[in-house]
Amino acid sequence: MKIHILGGAGSGKTFLSSKFEGKYGIKPLNLDDIVFDNSDAAFQKKRDESERNQLLSDFLKSNNDDYIIEGVYYDWLDESFDNADYIFLFEIPLYIRVLRVIRRWYRNLFDKTIKNKVGFFSTIKLIKWMFDYYKEEFPQILKKLEKYGDKVTIIKSKEDVRRVIYIVAQNARKNAAQ
């Protein structure tokens, strides 16, 4: 089973990927982990494109049968989209996503297990980016994903999340029986 999950910050990508991980034991790849150099304490240093692309290629090769990839990125992920059985795109209202990001920032303030905490000003910068995401990026994502037809499901609500979890489970059972 190959799943690619897209959406803006606070949309529910990590929540959905963790549900699939728990159910199927497939460790998800958060694309931020290959876009950014995690050795940078501020988590702000981007890897160069060739290193990033090689990390993605290595991941896809080593997870040939099953993978879950999640992130906001889309323009350099053709191989993942081409191979995916499912592409889930979150289109959650902005006010919900902003509240989730603020809640996540606040919870992380007091979580001693998190090494690289996101600061207040980085969170404000992220929220500003979120306003532009649906105006500028989202239409481009929709256009890019047009060619994938039925593989693409747009998620707009909690009910949609429950529905895609159910559909994936049904298909997994059907494939296991074959």
Of 6-10, 21-25, 85-89, 135-139, give the range with the top mean pLDDT.
Answer: 85-89
Q: Rounded to 5 degrees, what are φ and ψ at 8?
A: -70, 175
Mean pLDDT estimate for the chain: 89
pLDDT at 176: 79
On the question of pLDDT at 37 being above 90, the answer is no
For residue 10, which phi and psi values (nearest 5 degrees)? Answer: 75, 10
Domain ranges of the chain: 2-93+137-177
Residue, of 116 and 143, whose pLDDT is higher: 143
At the top level of CATH, the class of 2-93+137-177 is: alpha beta
User: With 80 as the cut, is the pLDDT of residue 160 above it?
Assistant: yes
Dihedral over alpha carbons 101, 66, 153, 105 (to 10 degrees): 0
Give the pLDDT score at 116. Answer: 56
Residue 7: is its pLDDT beyond 90? yes
Give tens-digit pLDDT for 77-106.
999 999 999 999 999 998 998 898 888 888
